[in-house]
Amino acid sequence: MAFWLMKSEPEELSIHDLQRLGQSRWDGVRNYQARNFLRAMTPGDLFFFYHSSCPEPGIAGIGEITAAPYPDPTALDPHSNYHDAKASEEKNPWSALDVSFVEAFSRVISLAELKHQAGLEELALVRKGSRLSVMPVNAEQWALILALA
């Protein structure tokens, strides 16, 4: 079992949306490095649900990977914001997977707090210039962040 962190704009999908829905498809990733991390995920893996591009950016809860990665259907949908004109049924470079709700933290662990937390220096989220939307979290980092919640 592995740990991850994935970013979502809460206006699109927040941890509370996921709580209400129970499960959701995680799609729209259009960066190869992030996609490669998606493809490394297996059912049972847990991820921190990060709220980005919002008034209070930070980790808002936990979700679980429930299905192995499959071709991202939004890449083929001309009406989707994530449509990729170069993708086809035969050759779709993008991946999506299914996630389920695990927990909503009683507070958001803010980005500022994560930046100041000793032991998280290597976390891609807080590294200068890093804009990855999907990233690995090691067991030590996971436990450290969980203890802040």
Partner DNA sequence: GCCAACGTTGGC
Binding site for DNA (CB under 7 A): 7, 30-33, 52-54, 57, 111-112, 128-133
DSSP secondary structure, 114-126, as one string: HHHSTT-TT-GGG
Tell me whether residue 91 or residue 128 sits nearer to DNA (CB atom): 128
Buried b (16+ CB within 10 A) or exposed e, 16-50: eebeeeeebebbbbeeeebbebbeebeeebbbbbb
- Report the nearest approach of DNA to the CB of residue 100 (Å): 22
CB of residue 134 to DNA, shortest distance in Å: 9
Select 22 or 91, whichever has its Cβ closest to DNA. 91
CB of 57 to DNA, least distance (A): 4
Shorter beta-carbon distance to DNA: residue 34 or 46: 34
Q: Which is nearer to DNA, 2 or 132 (CB)?
A: 132
- Side-chain half-sphere CA neighbours of 113 within 13 A: 15
Q: How far is the CB of 110 from DNA (least distance, A)?
A: 8
